[in-house]
Chains A and B, each alone.
Chain A
Amino acid sequence: MKDIIVYGSDCTNCHNTKELIRQVAEALGVAADIREVTDTVEIMRAGVMSTPGVAVNGEVVHAGGVPTREAIEGWLKG
């Protein structure tokens, strides 16, 4: 079970990021709990300055822009 958080202030790229991760997880058959965090203070506390940011199991693995499908596959498989 992967615990995934998408950090972003309710923007299109953030929604796209979440949706892409959901699709890739489904395609790979990986169970993932995907949450979106939109609160600015919480985003900053996580150390994310460029949104959308992505954390996998508590570790920020990505910041700024929609991640590539390949990168997401890497996080989900790893």
Chain B
Amino acid sequence: MFAVFTRLADLIAWNLLGLTPGSRLGEAVHFFIEDVTKIFFLLTVIVFLMGFLRAMIAPEKVRELVAGRSRFVSYPLAVMLGAVTPFCSCSSVPLFIGFLEAGIPLGVTMAFLIASPMINEVAVVLLGAIMGWKVAALYVIAGLTVGILGGLLIEALKLEKWVEDYVWQIRMGKVAAPKVDTSLTARLAFARAEVKEIVGRIWTFVLLGVAVGALLHGFVPASFFAQYAAGNPFAVPLAAVIGIPLYSNASGVIPIVESLIGKGLPIGTVLTLMMSVAAISLPEMIILRKVLKPQLIATFTAVLFVSFIIVGYLFNGLFT
């Protein structure tokens, strides 16, 4: 289906630049050209289509749907809706307060906030198109599991005391439900605006991800990973540790995932890295510091770290 991008990379890397197939530099450059063209093409198409279909749901609606439900319903619902609810990271604070104010438990609210950056419809479709639907489905299941697990742990630890006190005092005004214009012209205008906004925001992450993927692909031999990562019992925690300080949009990690799976790394280890890179970001933590005390931020990071590792081992055990 995407042979055209391989051919384009063949043409540029071998014919135009005169690189040798099989050489380190040649393979890295080939990977880079193929993935940059393929991913930006797919990204634009996917974001446009999702915008046109408005295949997304407003956080206000999520709040309404999740509030007052039993935990058996609210946890799965929160993580699933978190996956399809786009929101600007600057919205995290009002969203967090809005959820608590509606009586949604802290654990469920955190489950939503964990799932949201990790799984989004664009990254999932992109992952499916590039790595196949089995990997995409596994990633979704892994992300949902981490969201629920993380939320439940936070609930079990009773961390409400580490939410800033003023948060509990806030009473919200009547929530304004945004009106959505569903005419064809409005849909097209919205889809175009989404492409501009989303691609404009994440292109640096994607470019960087492709560059790292290309370097791994060309310069790190598969035997290196076979020796240090494939059979190493500590590879999963190591992947989680590496991912914590790194931050990228989920779509930006996909070329790295592609490269690592190509080198024979087990799926659980690779998914752990992807989740860890996408879910934990310093800017997000700084924003959430407005509503969470430092103890809760530290615990939140630790809880996620543990959840990534559990899910990584679980997937390695189940699927390799």
* Chain A interfacial positions (CB closer than 8 Å to B): 8-14, 40-41, 43-53, 60-66, 68, 70-71
Please state if B60 and A46 are interface contacts (CB–CB under 8 Å).
no
What are 23 A-to-B residue pairs whose CB atoms are below 8 Å? A9-B93, A11-B89, A11-B90, A40-B94, A40-B170, A43-B94, A44-B101, A45-B173, A46-B176, A47-B172, A47-B176, A49-B60, A49-B91, A49-B94, A50-B58, A50-B87, A51-B88, A51-B90, A53-B176, A61-B176, A63-B178, A64-B58, A64-B91
Per CB-CB distance, the 5 closest pairs between chain A and chain B, nearest first, are: A11-B90, A60-B176, A47-B173, A49-B98, A63-B178
- Nearest CB of A to B201, in Å: 9
Q: Inside 8 A of A8's CB, which chain B residues have their CB?
A: 90
Please state if B172 and A62 are interface contacts (CB–CB under 8 Å).
no
- Nearest CB of A to B287, in Å: 8
Q: For the complex, give the distance between the alpha carbons of A70 and B21 in Å.
A: 52
Please state if A44 and B90 are interface contacts (CB–CB under 8 Å).
no
The 0/1 profile, CB within 8 Å of A marked 1, for residues 87-111 of chain B is 1111101110110010000000000
Q: For the complex, give the distance between the alpha carbons of A71 and B166 in Å.
A: 35
Q: For the complex, give the distance between the alpha carbons of A4 and B190 in Å.
A: 22
Please state if B189 and A13 are interface contacts (CB–CB under 8 Å).
no
Please state if B193 and A63 are interface contacts (CB–CB under 8 Å).
no
Q: For the complex, give the distance between the alpha carbons of A65 and B63 in Å.
A: 18
Q: For the complex, give the distance between the alpha carbons of A52 and B89 in Å.
A: 11
Given A44-B172, A64-B178, CB of A51 within 8 Å of CB of B94? yes
Please state if B97 and A40 are interface contacts (CB–CB under 8 Å).
yes
Find the A residue at minimum CB distance from B177. Answer: A63
- Nearest CB of A to B184, in Å: 13
